A and B are shown apart, each in its own frame.
Chain A
Amino acid sequence: MANSGSTAAARTAAPSRTSWRPRAGYAQTLGAGAFLALLILYNALFNGDVFLNTQSLRLNLTQVAPIVIVAVGMTLVVATGGIDLSVGSVMAIAGAIAPLIFLSDASLLTLPFVGGALAYAVPVLIAGLFGLFNGWLVTAFRLQPIIATLVLFVAGRGVAQVITDGRLQSFREPDWQFIGLGRVFGVPFQAILMLCVVGVAAWGMRSTTFGRYVLAIGGNAAAARLAGVPVGRVTAAVYAISGLLAGLAGLIVIAINSSSDANQVGLNMELDAIAAVAVGGTSLMGGRATVVGTLIGALIIQLIRFTLLTQGVGDAVARVVTAAAIVVGVLVQRRRTP
């Protein structure tokens, strides 16, 4: 032992030192960050009059916040090797339930704060339960995530329509709508919420047992199980978190719109979220994830659209360019995965 120990020491440069080097995932996140910086620089230099004013900065943040919040949940799901197609429908469900509560005439709900608080908490929790349902399908029946979450993708919007009787619910509840219209020191409240979600998730993935378990499951579920990782519980929890965050995003969207339309809330959100995750550098095969990357990915997609639209390029073309960005993101990622 002693003998090979010496050769080991010779080959291992100072094993106790922090021999940090960017891992494949981080390297792509850096690349994505650099690209985002270029986009911002371009807009600042050549598009300054439309880009560099508080109004459009706020607009961009307002638009991107729900996508980022949903995409953070999606990042966790994708990190386990799964996918969640139901997020848009779950947003619609949460968006359908909230007005029922704050518009209700029931005496309890008209008390100050109670109705508003419940109108935040109940829809989000119910969304979380729908997420848990996804997780249950995936873990208890070993359904493939894409199929398991397709169930709610299809059925969820129907549920939302049944809840609202298929009617558009319009409202004016300035206090409650703070979540979508409020500002703190001039910054849209949902942007702050978004940063909190990103911060907590990024820290959680890095530093908690739960976060490490998520990556272990995505990297090799069989090995994780044999190492004592509670694979079923963690996987189900990840889908529940995705549901909770989708619910939160649903509330933001209806607050911005001052109306809830079960047909529109969260439409195509699953695609936006998956795109942000992919561009940000999270491996769609699972096992590698970066929450900050997802934030950057969502910002890149948002800024590409903004840039093209303000330059007078049509929405149709903007979609094609967005698609191209996704392809480039995924290709770069594949090149780094041997």
Chain B
Amino acid sequence: MIETANHDLLLRMEGVTKAFPGVVALADASLRVGRGEVHALVGQNGAGKSTLMKILNGAYRRDGGTVVLDGSPIDFRSPKQAQAGGISTIHQEINLVPYRSVAENVFMGREPRRFGMIDWPRMNRSAREILSRLNVGVDVTQPLLRLNVAVQQMVAIARAVSFQSKLVVMDEPTSSLDEREVATLFAVIRGLKADGVSVIFITHRLDELYEVCDRVTIMRDGRTVEERPMGEISKLELVATMLGKELGEVRRTGQTGFGESQRHGRGVLLEASALSRGRALRDASVRVDAGEIVGLAGLLGSGRTEVARAVFGADPVDAGEIRFRGESARFDGPGDAIRAGIGFCTEDRKAEGIIPHLSVRENLTLAALPVLARAGVVDRGRQREIVDRFMRRLGIRAAGPEQPIRELSGGNQQKVLLARWLCLNPKLLILDEPTRGIDVGAKAEIQSLIDELAGEGLGVLMISSELEELTEGGDRVVVLRDGRTVAELSREAATQDAIMAAMALGPAQPEAATDPAIA
């Protein structure tokens, strides 16, 4: 594989540099991708992966370095130019037009025409063809917003594929896909590879790298630090290189901190029973004790997020009871829940978490303003003090507290949002996919922080799609399926297999999956 790559390079990026005000994003980045190669690009948040890809696709201009595609130097000024030059990018956040049809989205900007008018039959036919090659059977005339996120993602891929690209960049394409869809995506990637198309694959799921990638480039602090065939580097070594640590250090610290004695007998914090709302929630129950980390598992659409939002007062419920610290607690809105001592980190950072134009300081203290203000006037000194303390405690990387949060990497944004709640000293923290789209380093940091806080008595309700996170981090795992609680597994019973069985099969075999001691 190496020989092929060296002899037949499609892309060569060498010594690329890029600086933003206050931060050097790329110090010395290089990337070599062979023709027909699936190349993994990994690194922590802020390592420079996204910046490098944005330089490649023309979204940013580089400050220095060379980029050679197919033997000729390139310097794209816009993603559109890059697309014309054979580079397509599929972003983590889907960039499509929700109200237009699937076919229109696939062909937007280059609709097939006939006598100057859009040739609808031909466009729909071609779209159907491309999508069926991806094993997606949808009505291409229906508007995109009627489809679920995973299918939308496949439409985005179909769009990229249809450009006849030489190189497709996939930036975390799998974060919203389920297992079967991921398998389909990998089949598509192998198909592209067979056609001689190269793929740059960015993901935070290590297993996926080994499954589909040929070689890996590892970045750290704006530099390329390693380039290796995938088969010649172990997972542990990969993570260690990413973090710049010795092998032994990578293990989570929190695991040893779990003491059964520490975790029990602190009393029930949250008890939500028989929650129901429309079709989303039918009979969902969950209990969290003080100092306990409860994992909430379930497939997309199982009602995980809905439970969290109901508890937090963000959505009303039709029926069911919520008790918090012994009192009935049907909160009228998030404000009430926050005052009662609950924090909620949302699943969708960009849409519901950050206020993009506001600074790290303002984002961090947004929920704490009522506490920080006297007669409605914010106490700047105390605000500054809290911001400094939490930026240091969580290791938030930013040019300073006044940097707009949108300029931070995903992991650092997430840390700011965690700090938004932690500075209020909450009793219960609800985390919806706290480590989604975050690199392994920040992930481990956030996980060990959660462990530490639980040790201090904080109750945590953690929603996650990653089984590992649930089995390793949770004291108990509650499994939802179609809006119902179908299993409650103790730490010992919560193996990945048991959780998966409950998620997939639900009440069919609840006895086998439930630990009688807890349930």
Contacts and interface: CB of A to CB of B under 8 A. Distances in A.
A19 interface: yes
A320 interface: no
Interface string B473-496: 000000000000000000000000
A229 interface: yes
Interface residues on A, range: 35 or more
Contacts of A283: 357
B221 interface: yes
B392 interface: yes
22 contacts: A4-B395, A4-B442, A5-B392, A7-B397, A12-B399, A15-B401, A19-B401, A23-B404, A207-B378, A208-B373, A209-B373, A215-B357, A219-B355, A220-B351, A220-B352, A222-B351, A224-B366, A225-B333, A226-B352, A227-B366, A230-B333, A283-B357
B378 A208 contact: yes
A6 B221 CA distance: 12
B397 A12 contact: yes
A4 B441 contact: yes
Interface of B: 21-23, 46, 221, 243-245, 249, 253, 312, 314, 333-335, 337-339, 344, 346, 351-359, 362, 366-367, 369-370, 373, 376-378, 380, 388, 391-392, 395-402, 404, 420, 441-442, 445, 448-449
A1 interface: yes
A123 interface: no
Contact of A207 (B344, B351, B380): B380
A15 B22 contact: no
Contacts, number: 135
B249 A3 contact: yes
A16 interface: yes
Contacts of A228: 333-335, 337-339, 367, 370
A260 to B, nearest CB: 36
Contacts of B333: 225, 228, 230
Q: Which of B46, B337, B388, B401: most chain A CB closer than 10 A? A: B401
Closest 10 CB pairs of A and B: A19-B400, A219-B355, A228-B338, A228-B335, A227-B367, A227-B366, A8-B395, A209-B369, A209-B373, A287-B357
Contacts of B352: 220, 222-223, 226
Nearest to B398: A12
B373 A13 contact: no
Contacts of B356: 219-220, 287
A17 B391 CA distance: 13
A16 to B, nearest CB: 5
A8 B397 contact: yes
Given A13-B22, A15-B400, A216-B358, 20 more contacts: A1-B445, A1-B449, A4-B445, A7-B221, A7-B397, A8-B396, A15-B392, A19-B399, A19-B401, A220-B351, A220-B352, A220-B354, A223-B346, A225-B333, A225-B334, A226-B352, A227-B420, A228-B334, A228-B339, A229-B335
Contacts of A17: 400
Contacts of B23: 11
A5 to B, nearest CB: 5
Given A1-B448, A8-B396, A11-B397, A223 B378 contact: no
B245 A21 contact: no
Contacts of B221: 7, 11
Contacts of B401: 15, 19
A107 to B, nearest CB: 40
Contact of B366 (A4, A13, A212, A222): A212
Nearest to A216: B355
Q: Which of B249, B378, B388, B404: most chain A CB closer than 10 A? A: B378
Interface string A6-41: 011001110111111101100000000000000000
Contacts of A222: 351-352
A178 interface: no
Contacts of B391: 12, 15
Contacts of B351: 220, 222-223
Contacts of B370: 209, 228
A52 B221 CA distance: 58
Contacts of B334: 225-228
Contacts of B449: 1
Nearest to B335: A228
Interface of A: 1, 3-5, 7-8, 11-13, 15-21, 23-24, 207-210, 212-213, 215-216, 219-220, 222-230, 283, 287-288
B377 A207 contact: yes
Contacts of B244: 3, 7
Nearest to B359: A23
Given A13-B22, A209-B378, A226-B346, A4 B243 contact: yes
A209 B366 CA distance: 9
B391 to A, nearest CB: 6
B354 A223 contact: yes
Contacts of A209: 369-370, 373, 376-378
A216 B361 CA distance: 12
B361 to A, nearest CB: 10
A12 B415 CA distance: 15
Nearest to A225: B334
A283 B358 CA distance: 13
A224 B243 contact: no
Contacts of B21: 21
Contacts of A220: 351-352, 354-356
Contact of A13 (B357, B367, B399, B448): B399
Nearest to B345: A226
Contacts of A224: 355, 366
Contacts of A23: 359, 402, 404
A228 B344 CA distance: 10
A230 B366 CA distance: 12
A19 B373 contact: no
Nearest to B371: A209
Contacts of A3: 243-245, 249
A287 B356 CA distance: 9
A121 B17 CA distance: 62
A223 B373 contact: no
A167 B400 CA distance: 61
Nearest to B407: A338
B403 to A, nearest CB: 8
Contacts of A13: 22, 399-400
Q: Which of B23, B338, B357: most chain A CB closer than 10 A? A: B357
A5 B335 CA distance: 33
A37 B401 CA distance: 32
Contacts of B366: 212, 216, 224, 227, 229
Given A4-B445, A225-B333, A19 B355 contact: no
Contacts of A219: 355-358
Nearest to B397: A8
Contacts of B397: 7-8, 11-12
A335 to B, nearest CB: 15
Contacts of A8: 395-397
Nearest to A229: B366
A20 B392 contact: no
A12 B221 CA distance: 12
Contacts of A288: 357
A225 B377 CA distance: 20
Nearest to B449: A1
Contacts of A226: 312, 314, 334, 344, 346, 352-353
A238 to B, nearest CB: 15
